[in-house]
Structure 1
Amino acid sequence: MSEPNALFTETILLLGGAVVSAPIFKRLGLGTVLGYLAAGVVIGPIFNGLTDGEQILNVAELGVVFLLFIIGLELKPSRLWQMRRDIFGLGAAQVILTGLVLTALADLSGLLDWRGSIIAGFGLALSSTAFAMQILEDDGDVSTRYGQRSFSMLLFQDLAIVPLLALINILDTGKGHGTPIVDFGIAIGAVGAMIVMGRYLLTPLFQIIASTGAREAMIAAALFVVMGSATLMQMAGLSMAMGAFLAGVMLAESSYRHELEADIEPFRGVLLAIFFIAVGLSLQLDVLWDNALVILVTVPVVMAAKALIIYALCRLTGSDHNDAIRIAFLLPQGGEFGFVLFSAAGASSLMPSSTASLLIAIVTLSMALTPIGTKLAKRFQSGETKETLEEDFEGAGADVLMIGFSRFGQIASQILLAGGRAVTVIDTSADRIRQASSFGFRIYFGDGTRKDVLRASGIDHAKIVVVCTQKREVTDKIVELVQADYPEAKLFVRSYDRVHSIALRNLNVDYELRETLESGLLFGRRTLEALGISEAAAYEIGEDIRRRDEQRLVLQVTEGLQAGRDMLYSQPVKPEPLVKPKRTMDFSQDPLAGTGDAVADV
């Protein structure tokens, strides 16, 4: 039997490292990213199983490319336009301010001249898109407010690579071949070409391929679009990830979006895992050891400086304390583009190659510390605050607007969907929205007590507003708001208890129901059946209780909570009824007399 070739062996080692490390670190609560890094360090620098980490890193960067494509698929152009202030405001401020501060620190260190300090400072100002986005995805926080602001900064950093590479040419006076204006023009032209092709070519391309019914051709076309757009941007001096992201945005409104995401996802997951392993492989332990003191001082100083600047900028631009802390601890590391900048600067006259290698080691180590830092972020957060998501009502508007998606709303929505009716659902729980999305539900984040949210979620087109919120005061506020501003909409409301049902009837809602009524009736019927009563008799008894309950509610609306007490059973009826039960009642023995709110659900 012939010996396996080197490529086959390396692939086995990489996949094996991913298979072993990811579950272990996930179980330890440290995250898969740190597991992949550890696998890379063990396979490469420690046991020398693989030595060409940089070459593997170049291939595995496709994982970052596919990741940005999938993110682009989730961001429609209109949504991207809404983020413009965070991208070009917060993102630009972060790169410029952090770059200037780190440039000053690099200059003070005495290791570099002013030109090298500028490249080092702005190179370290960039963060790792791959690490940050993977952590956000693992935690399900991509759609949160802090996740969106983090992504906005990362997106601007990807754009900043063009002027930073041009800056190397400008500062490299020894070669004197800088053409920044031309480079910038080429980049703008490439972006414009991508937008035109995405708008007029991509969707027709997939329509033609889909009409053939060739599944493998669709997968090949998806890979071709991602890698082709990435290559086009790279040729124009932009990052490959930026090209893939633009392609995803252009296809975000396509009817093939979900199929494309399903086709790309397996490649994205595997290649991104290999990317993190390759970062571990490329970690030069000898460089770390020879410059241990410099690195031990530099890494925490750089990460602390970036974290403080990011925190301050986020607070100044509207983030609360907890969100600002999350972002600051998510983005303090160096980024993949730092490898590109420092390698280019080392190849020119801007810094010695040994210093470039040292900076690359600092970036790599800062990446490795990021997952640990995100775990520590919780220690700096204040008390529990309600997590918020971006309010995006793209596609909202249906005959039924459901406010609240707790247990009651989830069951009710199944009936409506099974009946072929479209339902717009809004909820204020970020966790509930994430859980619902994992089951395929499209839930919008929004507060139903706000008129602007109701309008954005399509209440003007809704025939029925279904209020399934859990707290009585919230429900009442929504009911009053809808009745005041949208009196033509019918109100179907989940009540908290009997007292709440009476109050809602006094407000003249179209329909109300206590959450516990139907379940309690069914539970009692099944218990009777288990005691030997026939199913028909148990059903008839349950219907009698239902009628009595409704009659009592009608009386209580006009006469008060104590009305209809004679309709309550307080002791067994004898003989056991086979037809509608009849009984007499000794009021002196009524254990419910005078209990008031204690029997609000009876």
Structure 2
Amino acid sequence: MPGSLFYEVLLLLAGAVVAAPLFRKLGLGTVLGYLAAGIVIGPVLQRIIDTEEVLHFSEYGIVFLLFVIGLELKPSRLWQMRGDVFGLGPAQVVLSGILMSGLAYAAAVTDWRGSLVIGFGLALSSTAFAMQILTDAGEMSSRYGQRSFSILLFQDLAIVPLLALVTILSPGTAEEAATPLTDFAVAIGAITAMVLAGRYLLTPMFQIIASTGAREVMIAAALLVVLGSAAAMQAVGLSMAMGAFLSGVMLAESSYRHELEADIEPFRGLLLALFFMAVGLSVDVSVILDNLLFIALAVPIFMAVKALVIYGVCRLWGSSHADAVQIAFLLPQGGEFGFVLFTAAASAGLFSSETSSLLISCVTLSMALTPFGARLSKRLMPKVAREQLAEDYAGAGADVLMIGFSRFGQIAAQILLAGGREVTVIDDSPDRIRQAASFGFRIYFGDGTRRDVLIASGIERAKIVVVATQKREVTDRIVDLISADFPHARLFVRSYDRLHSLSLRDRVEYELRETLESGLLFGRRVLEGLGMSEAEAADIGDDIRRRDEERLRIQAAQGLGAGREMLYNSPVRPEPLIKPKRVPVVDEEGSEPLEGTT
């Protein structure tokens, strides 16, 4: 059994289950826990030998991570970041690359061509490590978090010209040297095709699939989009992560964004954890021991140089001292694309495979030091208040999360929007989503009875959760789920009838029968139509509302049969209040006793 795929999977799962909670409890973060688990399983215990295959498969974790990040970035928001992506990003890569190329050449690691590849390879940071640290800390929406992401995004784009640079610098014919220009043109064409497909094909496809009601097909479609876009970009020389990111951005304004994020999240989390463990598995202890002095000097030197460059360019681009320090401590490590670049350079003959292994070991150790650096930056500035971006991602994190957008929710949402409040609305009806879109109102496709959908929709940041679903059993399931998993959420709930209101009294902050206020208003208008003054009709309506609320309080405490005497002590005793005992009344959505009866 040892050495089999099943055995290795069991080991990796056991390592993740043990290490992640332990390191999080110690305050060191899950990333370092996964990395430590990989080192113990691989280099220390030698239980998994073939680490290259695990590392290759685990890179899909980065692919899913970039897709989820793309879902959170509307194209308009991405356009606003263009100054950081194409200004700050190139400045960091070029300056860091030149300085570290000089250091590599001075250290006589290889000739000038190999030194150039080494310098620019070390200029790239780890998207997986940095984004996981930001996510764990809940700082993706902070100023420094967004600026860090801009730098990482350009670095992911830079892998294309850097791989072309390897081809140009390696020995070859003039025709081979010219192919990178052709590859670049093909890559631009592929990106254009991806954008067009995302704009005109993906949303209609998800509308058709959602209308079937088959959740497993939605999950399959989400995986198809992510992996398909990644494979398409890889085929033209771009990174798989970039393809997934572009498809995510194209779906960022789709009504299916939250459902897609909830479907992909489990795969992203597991595969990204596997990636961090695979990095630990790939640590070559023999290379580290043979070059211990060199690595002990090289890793802190290149991380310090890179951190200083990042701090300097961030300050030039207007970052505060606090933000620049945090970015510098977050991004000084080497990145996963460095593995790709150094391996390609060794295959092209720019330097030896031993040098490639040494560089990969340096990058791996720099990754392991990153969580400590991020924690150190916070200790250096404990009193700094981080400024949050005013714009939320695609509506998630709004003041109000509304679940259900039938006629009741539509009216309530209009009042909230008119009051200047942001509302995130989710509904599981594709037809309702299309109808809302025809009136310029965007709601998200999502099942409110799923915990992952609620999290993706921003329930943890919402001030109030409005449950406006039509069916009593669905409403109860949502209320039970939120009460159990999000006990601090303030619940305002639409109830179906009097019995439903009584059952909700002790579980929510506010409940309202869907027909109460409309019925009271309608009765007032009928009295006015019969000649009663508006003030007198309003007084009668207010008295009925007050007595009804008082009866509900008594019935909630003493049982459904309590409070009956209030019907007969009232100065206003409309005959219909007691007639339903003999004549059942059926409303448009099912039978229900007339209000005021039992």
Deviation, 1:263, is 0.2
What does 1:261-280 align with in structure 2 at a 5 Å threshold?
Answer: 261-280=261-280
- In the other structure, the counterpart of 1:129 is 127
Is the CA contact (8 Å cut-off) linking 1:174 and 1:349 kept in structure 2?
Answer: no
CA distance in 2, matches of 1:43, 1:122: 32
SS in 2 for 1:421: helix
**In structure 2, what is the equivalent of residue 545 of structure 1?**
none
Relative distance call for 1:57 and 1:185 in structure 2 (3 A) is same
Please tell me whether residue 332 in structure 1 is matched to residue 327 in structure 2.
no
What is the CA–CA distance in structure 2 between the aligned matches of 1:34 and 1:394, rounded to whole Å?
28
1:264-303 alignment runs, 5 A limit: 264-303=264-303
Deviation track 1:358-417 (CA, whole Å, cap 9, x = no partner) reads: 001100110011001111112433x62331122327888xxxx99xx9xxxxxxxxxx97
Residue 170 of structure 1 corresponds to 168
> Is it true that 1:113 corresponds to 2:108 in the alignment?
no
Aligned to 2:33: 35
The answer for the alignment partner of 2:506 in structure 1 is none
Contact 1:37–1:368 under 8 Å retained in 2: yes
Give the Å deviation of 1:214.
1.2
| Alignment TM-score, normalising by the size of structure 1 | 0.67
| Residues 74, 393 of structure 2: 8 Å contact kept | no
Deviation at 1:116, TM superposition (A): 0.2
Asked whether the equivalents of residues 345 and 351 of structure 1 are also in contact (C-alpha less than 8 Å), the reply is yes
**Partner-residue secondary structure (3-state), 1:48:** coil
Report how far residue 436 of structure 1 moved: 11
The separation in 1 between residues aligned to 2:167 and 2:413, in whole angstroms, is: 63
Contact 1:107/1:113 (<8 A) preserved = yes
Task: Between 385-394 and 109-118, report the one with greater CA deviation.
Answer: 385-394
Following the alignment from structure 1 to structure 2, what is the Cα–Cα distance between the partners of residues 46 and 203?
A: 48
Show the counterpart of 1:441: 462
How much does 1:284 deviate?
A: 0.4
Mapped contact 2:73–2:393 kept (Cα < 8 A)? no
Matched, 1:371 2:392: no
Q: Which residue number corresponds to residue 574 of structure 1? A: none
CA contact (8 A) 1:229 1:244 kept: yes
SS at structure 1 position matched to 2:416: coil
| Distance of 2:66 and 2:255 partners within structure 1 | 19
8 Å CA contact 1:34–1:371 kept in 2: the answer is yes
Q: Distance in 2 between matches of 1:316 and 1:257?
A: 36
Amino acid at match of 1:60: S
**Once the 2 structures are TM-superposed, how far is the Cα of residue 207 of structure 1 from its aligned partner?**
0.9
User: In the TM superposition, what whole-angstrom CA distance separates every residue of 1:11-41 from its partner, at most 9, and x where no partner exists?
Assistant: 1111110000000000000000000000000
Which residue of 2 is the match for residue 52 of structure 1? 50
- Residue 387 of structure 2 is matched in structure 1 by 388
> SS where residue 101 of structure 1 aligns?
helix
**What residue number does 1:84 align with?**
82
Q: Which residue of 2 aligns with 1:158?
A: 156
What TM-score, normalized to structure 2?
0.67
The equivalences for 1:495-534 within 5 A come to none
The 1:126–1:271 alpha-carbon spacing in structure 2 relative to 1, beyond 3 Å, is same
Residue 420 of structure 2 corresponds to residue 421 of structure 1: no
State how far apart, in whole Å, the 2-side matches of 1:418 and 1:425 are: 9
Count residues with an aligned counterpart: 418
Matched-pair contact (CA < 8 Å) for 1:325–1:380: no
Q: Give the corresponding residue for 1:470.
A: none
Residue 35 of structure 1 aligns to which amino acid in structure 2? G
Structure-1 residue corresponding to 2:205: 205
5+ residue gaps, structure 1, are: 406-415, 427-433, 444-602
Hey, what's the Cα distance between the residues in 2 that align with 1:359 and 1:17? 26
SS at match of 1:169: helix
Is the Cα–Cα contact under 8 Å of residues 3 and 47 in structure 2 kept in the other structure? Answer: no
Question: Which residue identity lines up with residue 106 of structure 1 in the other structure?
Answer: A
Q: Which residue does 1:144 correspond to in 2?
A: 142
Separation (CA, whole Å) in 1 of partners of 2:172 and 2:458: 56
Partners in 2 of 1:287 and 1:12 — Cα distance?
Answer: 28
Does the aligned pair in 2 maintain the 1:199–1:250 contact within 8 Å?
Answer: yes
- Output the CA distance in 1 between the equivalents of 2:2 and 2:295: 39
Q: Which residue of 21, 24, 28 corresponds with 1:23? A: 21
> Are the structure 2 counterparts of residues 375 and 394 from structure 1 closer, same or farther at C-alpha, using a change threshold of 3 Å?
closer
- Within 2, Cα distance between the matches of 1:112 and 1:4? 40
> How far apart, in 1, do the equivalents of 2:394 and 2:25 lie?
38
**Residues 77-121 of structure 1, C-alpha deviation per residue, up to 9 Å, x if partnerless?**
000000000000000100001000000101100121000000000
- Is the aligned partner of 1:218 residue 2:239? no
Q: Where do 5+ consecutive residues of structure 2 fail to align?
A: 401-410, 423-454, 465-598
The aligned counterpart of 1:497 is none
Aligned residue identity for 1:232: A
Q: Find the counterpart in structure 2 of residue 188 from structure 1.
A: 188
The alpha-carbon deviation at position 208 of structure 1 amounts to: 1.1
1:215–1:43 CA distance, 2 compared to 1 (3 A)? same
Q: In the alignment, residue 12 of structure 1 is paired with which amino acid?
A: L
Query: How far apart, in 1, do the equivalents of 2:463 and 2:144 lie?
Result: 21
Q: Aligned Cα RMSD in Å?
A: 2.4
Cα distance, 1:203–1:11 mapped onto 2, change above 3 Å? same
Q: Take 2:86 and 2:303, find their aligned partners in 1: how far apart are those partners?
A: 23
Amino acid at match of 2:137: D
Question: Residues of 2 paired with 1:207 and 1:244: CA distance?
Answer: 20
Query: Of residues 7, 10, 24 in structure 1, which corresponds to 2:8?
Result: 10
1:499 match: none
2:91 aligned to which of 86, 90, 93:
93
Structure 1 pair 225–28 and aligned structure 2 pair: CA distance change class (3 A): same
In the TM superposition, residue 438 of structure 1 has moved relative to its aligned partner by: 4.6
Over 3 Å counting, the alpha-carbon distance change for 1:321 and 1:205 in structure 2 is same
Aligned residue number for residue 451 of structure 1:
none
